[in-house]
Structure 1
């Protein structure tokens, strides 16, 4: 009986509807501001020109395109949850897609495809001699092609669209942080832009050198997000009740929707902490210190990051008037602390490690 009740309860919380519309109708919704494709997503979702051409090929050949999921906001606007790249590719191809800055984004000429090799070089519309362009009939037929939408209605539970986004994008090529970035864009776009802006801080970049792969996966933005989590963390030293990645996402969602989250205070702490660290140690700030060799070794350490920024985020005011060498010495000595070593090894899970090192760092740097 419990299962039946759970199904009935949850199904009442999520109201959906199916809808089919032409590409032309979708274009009109977009131009009228009734469809939000979130141009910020273009930083996250990366489609090649070949992928874009294959989508256009599918439309031309009548091959069904996967359903596009949208959520209806209280103001009636549709938020795209799944299908951002499909819609932005179509809008860009027909010449109406706008960037974050409101500028028109021009489409590259199409590439040749498997079934339409002659498609290579074509654009939507161009009267210049020698330029391959769709004719009027092709443009009209293209705009009449249908797209299937699944709409989460505004009466649904407020978390439904975020839960759906996470379900639809689990197992995709998105990294965990890229998925968080998308959620944050939908939750609080200004906070997302703030997060990206902090990730470009020169002092932060100097102290956290990352590989190109890590940069592409959004790990730098994740570290910025972690900084603010560590600063606010009010749990005990016990193991987290969920995996750390899930915990970070949950905290981000709560903070993005909270009016109590003080962006200016967090930004000041972030800037001051990384200014101190850059002056004291630069790129060695989060590398392991070998006391026998009297030098820093290895790559970036997440355990060091957790301990150091957690402590300094609380106590940076105490260190601002001291000599950089004093902070450098304190960080070097940290690597000899038994409690730090016991809780920072590879065998320690993040859900256990993080609470302990946050509390350790706060005491150690106080």
Structure 2
């Protein structure tokens, strides 16, 4: 297929529309639940009060607002795709923001700016009669009349196109992790699939063996490990494909597959990490130096051991607890003497090379 043919084929997957709306109209759509911000997405509302104030200042000064992007559901309701920080700031200011995030953040009190120092301490409505800290009717009307372009990704666009749009646009200067972006799109594609991944990431055996730091947990690294586990077992890795692009596509493939058995796959996941925890505990995915396991969590070890154990569950089910623990422990230690593993698990090895070499190895290492 030529480049021009590839362009035409890709464009057919994206069906768009768009028009200008006032912020007041957008507020009404949100109030009437015709514009949705999923709670998972809403938790990514991270602008500090200074950035919120600068945005409100821009609206008051008549500076054009960048377009927002929404995805239209089959019932006609819009789901916010890009513009979370801007729209949530306006919603918080006027007191319309819903959910746990709204309760945690409370009312938005503006700071003073270089051009508008008198904004300092101002809020949408006065905190008390004659307090003098409200914006006033004139400014309220100006803010609600400010217009923004709404770009609409129509319902007939495919899931991959929605993911691409979300991934390319939804940065907002807040440094979302790759998995936070995936989580938000998983909600849009298949909410039960997202909930299932979150439940698995909270499995006690999984938490013990992966030993994720607070920073890693905050960036949803645990959920990414859950996704990696199921992707490696259910979506063949294409050699040379960027690892994150592979995970993106794997999520779309599994979440969009109506035959993907969440219950069975979940039981396999839980049993895998129960066996690994019983045998290795918190040392499961660390380096073996010949005497002890030490150091930090290693992705290459996780990929081989978790997939290897999962691919051989039927054999391991037939073992006694003691036999299984000894078997898994010995194979985990022997891994460090495996030439293929040693050559493809170091820090200088590209992720694409690592996966293409180590994923086939995983099943073999844990065969009886």
- Bucket of the pairwise TM-score, normalised by the shorter protein: 0.7 to 0.9
**Mapped partners of 1:46, 1:102: distance in 2:** 12
Number of the residue aligned with 1:149: 150
**Mapped partners of 2:207, 2:288: distance in 1:** 20
**Is 1:337 aligned with 2:338?**
yes
| The 10-residue stretch of structure 1 (68-77 or 3-12) with the greater mean CA deviation from structure 2 | 3-12
Give matches, 1:61-140, under 5 Å.
61-99=61-99, 106-126=106-126, 128-129=128-129, 130=131, 132-140=133-141
Change (3 A) 1:326 1:242: closer
The answer to whether the Cα contact below 8 Å between 1:319 and 1:327 also exists between their aligned partners in 2 is: no
Deviation at 1:13, TM superposition (A): 5.0
**Is 1:203 aligned with 2:223?**
no
Number of the residue aligned with 2:279: 280
Change (3 A) 1:89 1:194: farther
Give matches, 1:43-58, under 5 Å.
43-58=43-58
**Mapped partners of 2:83, 2:365: distance in 1:** 47
The answer to whether the Cα contact below 8 Å between 1:72 and 1:151 also exists between their aligned partners in 2 is: yes
What is the number of residues matched between the two proteins? 360
Deviation at 1:246, TM superposition (A): 0.8
3-state SS, counterpart of residue 332 of structure 2: helix
**Mapped partners of 1:335, 1:171: distance in 2:** 43
Change (3 A) 1:45 1:95: closer
Number of the residue aligned with 1:268: 267
Number of the residue aligned with 2:177: 175
Output one character per residue of 1:262-316: Cα deviation in whole Å (capped at 9) or x when no partner.
111222122222222223222211000011xx11122111111011000122233
Give TM-score, length-normalised by structure 2: 0.86
3-state SS, counterpart of residue 281 of structure 1: helix
Change (3 A) 1:327 1:150: same
The answer to whether the Cα contact below 8 Å between 1:40 and 1:100 also exists between their aligned partners in 2 is: no
**Is 1:166 aligned with 2:163?**
no
Change (3 A) 1:303 1:46: same
**Mapped partners of 2:307, 2:37: distance in 1:** 36
> Aligned-pair RMSD on alpha carbons?
2.8
Number of the residue aligned with 2:216: 214
**Is 1:307 aligned with 2:309?**
no
Give TM-score, length-normalised by structure 1: 0.87
The answer to whether the Cα contact below 8 Å between 2:21 and 2:147 also exists between their aligned partners in 1 is: yes
Moved over 6 A (4+): 100-105
3-state SS, counterpart of residue 335 of structure 1: helix
Deviation at 1:166, TM superposition (A): 2.6
| The 10-residue stretch of structure 1 (164-173 or 41-50) with the greater mean CA deviation from structure 2 | 164-173
**Is 1:357 aligned with 2:364?**
no
Deviation at 1:77, TM superposition (A): 1.5
**Structure 2 regions of 5+ residues with no counterpart?**
none
**Mapped partners of 1:167, 1:23: distance in 2:** 24
